[in-house]
Chains A and B, each alone.
Chain A
Amino acid sequence: MKKLIGALFSIALAVAVTLPAAAATKGGKLIYARYADSLLLDPVFNDANVDIWITTNLYDTLFLPTDDGKDVQPGLATAWQAADDGLSYTITLRQGVKFADGTPMTADDVKWSIERAANPKNGIFNFLLTSIGSVAVTAPDTVVIKLKQPDPVLIKALATFNTAILPMKAYEASPGATDEEKAKTFAEHPLGTGPFKFVSWERNVSMKLARNENYWRKDAAGQQLPYLDEIEFVTIPDDATRILKLQAGEVDGAEFIPYARVAELKADPNLDMQLWPSTKVNFLTLNVRPTFKDGSKNPMADPRVRQAMNYAVDKDALIKIVTFDVAKPMTSFMSSSTPYVNTSGPAFPFDAAKAKSLLADAGFASGLDVTCLALAGSADETAILSTVQQMWSQVGIRLKIEQVDNPTRTAKYRAGDFQMRVSGWTDDIADPNEIVSYFAYSPNIQSMHTGWEDKKVNEIFEASAKEMDAGKRAAQYKQIQDSYMEAPPIIPLYESPYPVAFRKSVKGFVQIPLGNNIFVGASVEK
């Protein structure tokens, strides 16, 4: 019971933070320029951030992530209680919630939506819900989720995009022989309980949303949310054009401002340049298998070489050169917005002398050669690698840069046919379990295809997935990070914010560290 009260308390606190205190202008239209269009507006079958980051405007989950991305607040559920054995959760649903078309949301919709998301045959995100056994409706406002094993992250998983609640009847009535085909047709005209309802979509041009008149949420002053009448997402892939359109006032906001333009936009009196704390980490992925795919010996199999490579990168200088001081150094392989992150100090502070002596110890006193895959045409990757090339040349590491396009790189990477590549990662859930399962837990995808394996880490991770005691879990994640960071199969470079710019008239937009673009509290002031 103490646990429940604690949860409710943090929930109440979070709601107060989320909603703007000052009265916002109601009405109006906001045009937001995105670098790429969405692909599939179904929360279960989508697989890309272009979908994930905006579906939360159409669909709600039982719980909602807080603005700092670390916790949850009530959504379509108002309370939850875990059984003493941790094997079932009783969830109280919010009453009077309607879908955008006016039909009431029922407990059956909830049961069906959660079971669809947890079905291992559906999509690629069901791994976040493997503990779920079944969902039962026990009262019109209550569902009970039965688990196969205790799951400390269940509530956070119920605040993640893929567990959004959809209208079962409308979905099942969509044309299509299989669930995936139904998802496609349903997602052409998505229907949810979110703050906005879908109006129209011309692929790669524009998507129009309008206020959901039936939305359940009010702001702190008791005013009905959302404020905006309409949102239009327009797709403008070219960075320079997207910014020109914002400067000309043809759009109200634009995402992915290149770091090189951040200072210029900050100085523009008409614009509000925003840098949202994120879970985005940027790093080099190293192949650490004893030999490369061509059979030659891999120097990076030696932990000392990996340590040397890490020490030889001056992260502060790199951040200045590549991100114009927008990013910040990392303390672990996970971002500072990820719960349980180890913050005991910067990872591998720059030390060229130490790097040289480590290389000498490993038998590479005369240096070594490595090749890194780079995305052809990517200004960021070129800047990162030419800077690292310079830094490494000081300690005798000769870096060759091989430019390839994205599908080529992904194919080589998946086949383990690479020495090194530039990578990025963002969390989808407010918990370290996702990033650890990819980076450090080798049975998943060989620790991000590096070939790195630590059996002890695997055991600790498996135990942490069932550990209900928050203190013990924190200790487990500290242990995992310490072991991993000793001689990691990556070079952590920096964590970078989400760069978004708006006209000064736009208020109340939020992008949380998980990336979700939240327009519920956005308004355009006159």
Chain B
Amino acid sequence: MPISLRYVVLRLLQIVPTFLLIMVVMFVLVRLLPGDPTSALLGERATDEAVARINAQYGLDKPILVQFGVFLASFFRGDLGDSIVDKTPVLGLILSRLPVTLFLTALAALLSVVMAVPLAFVAALRHGSGTDSAIRAGFQVGLSTPVFYLGILLLTLFAAHLHWFPVGGYGEHFGDKLYHLFLPALTLALSLSAVLMRNLRNSIVEVLEAEYVDFARAKGLKARVVLGKHVLRNAVIPTVTLLGLNIGTLFGGAVITETVFAVPGAGRLMIGAIFGRDYPVILGLTLALALLVSLVFLVTDLVQAALDPRVSA
């Protein structure tokens, strides 16, 4: 497995220009949105003097280049500024909320793999049968149901009526958090698992028909070895890529899921920041997410290289 340290360092360095570009674009874009943090904060009643005072306090009355300079200077000191709405440091807000979302997305990714892989195998081995159609139809429903609606349905059934799970919130310790985040993670996982299942099923069907599998079988290898070593390993490569690419989408889904399930994560922080035009929070959170998604892409590529010797790394 030819993964060189040089490759990893190079890929990490490639993240830097992407990151800087996102920083500049977002800094300008949020300021181009109609409305501003001050009037969003002070509401309808505020007098012009009150608005001017708050604008001056956060430097929003200065030219955009000056504002960017101030932001850059504090950025390199490790300071992302203060939230205009919450009046607390942005870095602290992100550090307190992002782990929640990471936990949620990791759990959702895990759940979707756990659901998708075995069923994809069953569907692929019996492709064309009634079982195959039933599995695909079931996942199709999961994929096409809007996340917020699915969330309310799961909450009503499993939390309010059956009392198996709490109605939203976020627990105190690890086990408690797992218990609280199970339903929201399941909500997120259902649509992703449908995508993964369909993809994996199709690639397994394809691999099963490949000549090297016929050859392996002809050699007299056991079915378990053929499936595990030859079929799964080859079929799973496109699915890993797909999972990596979809982590960004999971973050997006978390925005809605966290609101429905009252989970205090980065998704809810982002929604609040956008509706409050809280520029420092929007920018800080976007940068944190961009960094995370870049790292996930890197890991995906490394895993792919490990699985597929043809991909050089």
| Most B Cβ at <10 Å: residue of A40, A241, A448 | A241
Tell me, yes or no, whether B132 is within 8 Å of chain A by CB: no
Interface size class of B (residues with CB under 8 A): 35 or more
| The one of A204, A241, A438 that contacts B264, using a Cβ cutoff of 8 Å | A204
Q: Is the CB of A205 closer than 8 A to any CB of chain B?
A: yes
Q: Does B86 contact A (CB under 8 A)?
A: yes
The reply to whether A407 and B86 contact each other, CB–CB distance below 8 Å, is no
For the complex, is B99 an interface residue (Cβ under 8 Å from A)?
Answer: no
Give Cα A245 to B259, complex, Å: 14
B275 within 8 A of A: yes
Stretch from A230-238, A475-483, A502-510 forming part of the interface with B: A230-238
Residues of chain A in range 158-200 having any CB-CB distance to chain B below 8 Å: 180, 184
Distance in angstroms between the alpha carbons of A108 and B57 in the assembled complex: 30
> What A residues does B93 contact at CB under 8 A?
203
Contact across chains for B170 and A241 when beta carbons are under 8 A apart = no
Residue with the highest number of chain A CB atoms closer than 10 Å, among B33, B34, B85, B152: B34
Interface size on A, residues (CB 8 A): 41
Q: Are A406 and B160 in contact (CB under 8 A)?
A: no
Quick one: which of B137-177 are within 8 Å of A by CB?
A: 152, 155-156, 159-160, 163, 166-170
User: A245 to B40, Cβ gap below 8 A?
Assistant: no
Interface presence of A463 (CB below 8 A): no
Contact B88 A203 (CB under 8 A): yes
Q: Which residues of A contact B (CB under 8 A)?
A: 39-40, 47-48, 124, 180, 184, 202-205, 234-238, 240-242, 244-245, 247-248, 250, 404-414, 423, 438, 444-445, 448-449
**B85 adjacent to A39 (CB under 8 Å):** yes
> What is the minimal beta-carbon distance from B268 to any residue of chain A, in angstroms?
7
Q: Specify which of B46, B167, B275 is in contact with A245 (CB 8 Å cutoff).
A: B167
Q: When the two chains form their complex, are residues A184 and B167 in contact, meaning their CB atoms are under 8 A apart?
A: no
- Find chain A residues with CB under 8 A from B155 CB: 240-241, 244
Please name all residues of chain A whose beta carbon is closer than 8 Å to the beta carbon of B262 when the two chains form the complex.
234-238, 241-242, 245
- Judge whether A405 and B35 touch: CB under 8 Å: yes
B43 lies within 8 A of A48 (CB): yes
Q: Are A47 and B42 in contact (CB under 8 A)?
A: yes
Q: How far is the CB of A130 from chain B (nearest CB, A)?
A: 13
Task: Check A407/B39 contact, CB under 8 A, given A237-B262, A248-B159.
Answer: yes
The reply on B36 being an interface residue by CB < 8 A is yes
**Smallest CB-CB separation from B82: which chain A residue?**
A184
- Identify 21 residue pairs between A and B in the complex whose beta-carbon atoms are under 8 Å apart, listed by A's number: A47-B41, A124-B45, A124-B50, A202-B264, A203-B88, A203-B264, A235-B262, A237-B262, A238-B168, A238-B260, A241-B155, A244-B159, A244-B160, A245-B262, A248-B167, A406-B40, A407-B275, A410-B43, A410-B44, A411-B35, A445-B46
B277 interface residue per 8 A CB criterion: yes
Q: Measured between alpha carbons, how far is A404 from B40 in the docked complex, in Å?
A: 13
CB of B172 to closest CB in A, whole Å: 11
Q: Apart from A240-B152, A406-B275, list 18 A-B contacts with CB within 8 A.
A: A124-B42, A124-B45, A234-B169, A234-B262, A241-B155, A241-B168, A241-B261, A241-B262, A244-B159, A244-B160, A244-B167, A404-B34, A407-B35, A407-B277, A413-B44, A423-B44, A448-B44, A449-B44
Partner of A247, one of B47, B87, B152, B160: B160
Q: How far is the CB of B86 from chain A (nearest CB, A)?
A: 6
Q: A407 to B166, Cβ gap below 8 A?
A: no
